[in-house]
Amino acid sequence: MKNDKRKLVVIALGGNAIKQANEKGTAEEQFKNVAITCDQLVKMNALGYKLIITHGNGPQAGNLLIQQEEGKQLVPPQPLDVIGAMTQGQIGYMFQNILRDYFINKGKDIPITTVVTQVLVDENDPDFDDPSKPVGPFYTKEVAMELKDTKGYVVKQVKPKGEKTWRRVVPSPEPHTIVEADCIKALVAARAIIIASGGGGVPVKKNPDGTFSGLEAVIDKDKAGNILAQSVDADIFLILTDVRNACINYGKPDEKALGEITVAEAEKYYDEGHFLAGSMGPKMQAAIRFVKAGGDKSIITSLDHAVDALEGKTGTIIRK
Ligand code: ADP
Ligand code: MG
Which ligand ends up closest to the CA of 18? 1
How far is the CA of 216 from the CAs of 54, 65, 84, 108, 145, in angstroms? 20, 12, 10, 41, 18
Give dist(CA 218, CA 159) in Å, integer. 21
Question: Could you tell me the CATH number of the domain that includes residue 243?
Answer: 3.40.1160.10
User: What is the span of the domain harbouring residue 257?
Assistant: 4-319
Residue 225's contacts (CB-CB under 8 Å, 6 or more residues apart) are 10, 12, 54, 197, 237, 239, 286
Q: Cβ distance 283 to 239 under 8 Å?
A: yes
Say whether 313 is catalytic. no
Give dist(CA 52, CA 41) in Å, integer. 10
Say whether 50 is catalytic. no
- Give pTM, 2 decimals: 0.95
Ligand 1, residues 13, 91, 219, 243: which to mutate, most atoms within 8 A of Cβ? Answer: 243
Say whether 283 is catalytic. yes
Q: Is the CB of 20 under 6 A from ligand 1?
A: no
Counted domains in the chain: 1
Say whether 292 is catalytic. no
Q: Cβ distance 154 to 169 under 8 Å?
A: yes
Provide the pLDDT for residue 121.
Answer: 98
* Active-site option among 221, 226, 245, 315: 221
Block means of pLDDT (10 residues each) for the chain, 320 residues, are 80 94 94 97 96 96 92 96 98 98 93 98 95 89 94 91 93 97 98 98 97 97 98 98 97 97 98 94 98 98 97 97
Give dist(CA 241, CA 236) in Å, integer. 16
Residue 241's contacts (CB-CB under 8 Å, 6 or more residues apart) are 14, 16, 280, 283, 300, 301, 302, 303
From the DSSP assignment, how many helices (H) and strands (E) are in the chain? 9, 17
Provide the pLDDT for residue 166.
Answer: 95
